[in-house]
């Protein structure tokens, strides 16, 4: 479907988004509702390129980091808004064993494999399979994208058929449903890697460094998974009480980053850690995080069916990555809240299972819920 689809309160349209270096065309689908909220999704990486949201006074702004054109995504591979797979986060040594067979993956993060390796879902051209709304869902606009990952890609076993469905409803919920099937036993964990700045990107480069670090974050998690020098979980589930990892009652992000005595912050050069959500693995999406910007009044809730949430404060951004409107992204300009299975789960059975067998369907549902508040206290 190529033409616009409009319902009472939502709409969807397809448009050209540019070409890659080899001339491959990339398309985009824009989902919008009557409240001014819209999401632009690229076929390259099934990427959330833009998310427009009103502040407490109704002023609209883009709240996700990224690039103005597809060349930026291809050039930098910073995962801005991308669909991550086959396995989100790190696998130690790029290696795991399944049913007695050892698999060596392609490495791209020192000795480890990060976000699927050097050839992964975020670099693929996804097929736009459907645009519109399911029967009866006349207040929800959606796009479904599909991708076939061949057996052995990146070292992973099994031919994997993956699908991502973005849906925006009239109540400002952007849901992302990720599914996958496989031809052979394999491991899989998918997520979205949006980095948020709720102040709005028109203010991200206005001379206010680390603007997103003034956001207030709440995470309902009594424990997190500390990491070693290679950012691989040690296997410990450490209690957050009394540490800068305690977000249960909400805290300003920069407060924790100022604590130079916390070894985990030093190792990660900021927050780059998985939180053990109190809710665990659930059949339906439940609350994983609340992010609030006191200045604009924008509020974002993240819900998920997965048991973990990776908090990442864009620690690798050093001012050399040119983003939207020529902004040079720096550490702290955006915050990633990535619902996921725990990092390195294929090597750490105590973390659960990331296994997917033929005949099964992997399914992860996450929701970005946008709203506003008038007054926020520290």
Catalytic residue ranges: 193, 338
Question: According to the model, what pLDDT value does residue 138 have?
Answer: 59
CB-CB neighbours of 172 under 10 Å: 18
Question: According to the model, what pLDDT value does residue 3 have?
Answer: 56
Specify the higher pLDDT residue, 308 or 203.
308
Specify the higher pLDDT residue, 318 or 182.
182
d(CA 128, CA 44): 10
Specify the higher pLDDT residue, 6 or 162.
162
Question: According to the model, what pLDDT value does residue 102 have?
Answer: 98
Range 318-333 average pLDDT = 86
User: And the tokens for 246?
Assistant: 């305690």
Question: According to the model, what pLDDT value does residue 7 have?
Answer: 58
Range 141-160 average pLDDT = 98
> For residue range 1-13, what is the model confidence (pLDDT) as tens digits?
445 655 568 999 9
Range 344-351 average pLDDT = 98
Question: According to the model, what pLDDT value does residue 4 have?
Answer: 66
Mean pLDDT of the chain: 92
User: And the tokens for 343?
Assistant: 């990092």
Range 320-341 average pLDDT = 91
Q: What is this structure's pTM? A: 0.94
Question: According to the model, what pLDDT value does residue 375 have?
Answer: 58
> For residue range 236-290, what is the model confidence (pLDDT) as tens digits?
999 999 999 999 999 999 998 877 789 999 999 999 999 999 999 999 999 999 9
What is the DSSP code string of 227-277?
B-TTS-B-S--EE-TTSTT--TT-EEHHHHHT-TT-HHHHHHTS-EEEEE-
Q: Above pLDDT 90, what percent of the chain?
A: 84
Q: Does residue 216 register a pLDDT over 90?
A: yes
Question: According to the model, what pLDDT value does residue 260 have?
Answer: 73
d(CA 89, CA 313): 14
Q: Does residue 158 register a pLDDT over 80?
A: yes
List domains and CATH numbers for the chain: 5-213+308-372 (2.70.98.10)
> For residue range 120-138, what is the model confidence (pLDDT) as tens digits?
999 999 999 999 864 444 5
Range 39-62 average pLDDT = 97
Question: According to the model, what pLDDT value does residue 6 have?
Answer: 58
Cβ neighbourhood burial of 225 (10 Å; 0-12, 13-18, 19+): buried
SS3 at position 114 = strand
Range 290-298 average pLDDT = 95
Q: Does residue 50 register a pLDDT over 50?
A: yes
User: Positive or negative CA dihedral for 330, 333, 335, 336?
Assistant: negative
Q: Does residue 173 register a pLDDT over 50?
A: yes
Range 210-228 average pLDDT = 93
Cβ neighbourhood burial of 187 (10 Å; 0-12, 13-18, 19+): buried
Question: According to the model, what pLDDT value does residue 203 have?
Answer: 52
Q: Does residue 210 register a pLDDT over 80?
A: no
């Amino acid at each position: 479907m190529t033409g616009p689809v409009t319902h009472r309160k939502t709409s969807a349209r397809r448009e050209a988004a540019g070409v890659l270096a080899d001339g491959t065309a990339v398309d985009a689908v824009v989902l919008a509702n009557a409240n001014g909220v819209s999401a632009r999704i690229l076929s390259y990486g099934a990427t959330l390129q833009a998310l427009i949201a009103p502040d407490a006074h109704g002023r609209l702004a883009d709240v996700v980091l990224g690039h103005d054109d597809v060349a930026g995504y291809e050039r930098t591979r910073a995962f801005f808004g991308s669909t991550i797979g086959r396995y989100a986060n790190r696998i130690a040594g790029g290696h795991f064993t399944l049913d007695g067979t050892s698999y060596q993956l392609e490495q791209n993060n020192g000795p480890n494999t990060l976000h699927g390796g050097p050839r992964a879902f975020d670099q693929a051209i996804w097929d736009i399979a459907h645009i519109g709304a399911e029967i009866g869902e006349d207040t929800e606009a959606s796009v479904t994208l599909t991708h076939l990952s061949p057996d052995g890609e990146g070292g992973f076993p099994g031919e994997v058929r993956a699908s991502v469905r973005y849906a925006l409803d009239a109540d400002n919920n952007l849901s992302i449903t990720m599914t996958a099937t496989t031809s052979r036993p394999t491991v899989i964990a998918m997520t979205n890697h949006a980095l948020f700045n709720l102040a709005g990107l028109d203010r991200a480069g206005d001379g206010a460094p680390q603007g997103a670090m003034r956001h207030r974050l709440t995470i309902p998690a009594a424990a997190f998974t500390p990491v070693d020098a290679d950012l691989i979980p040690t296997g410990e589930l450490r209690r957050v009480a009394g540490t800068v990892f305690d977000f249960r009652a909400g805290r300003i992000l920069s407060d924790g980053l100022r604590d130079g005595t916390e070894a985990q912050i030093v190792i990660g050069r900021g927050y780059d850690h998985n939180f053990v959500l109190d809710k665990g693995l659930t059949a339906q999406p439940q609350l994983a995080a609340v992010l609030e910007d006191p200045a604009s009044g924008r509020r974002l809730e993240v819900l998920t069916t997965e048991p973990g949430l990776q908090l990442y404060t864009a620690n690798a951004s050093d001012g050399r990555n040119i983003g939207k409107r020529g902004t040079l992204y720096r550490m702290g300009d955006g915050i990633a809240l990535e619902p996921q299975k725990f990092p390195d789960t294929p090597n750490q059975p105590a973390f659960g299972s990331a296994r997917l067998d033929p005949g099964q369907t992997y399914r992860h549902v996450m929701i970005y819920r946008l709203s506003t508040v008038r007054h926020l206290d520290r």
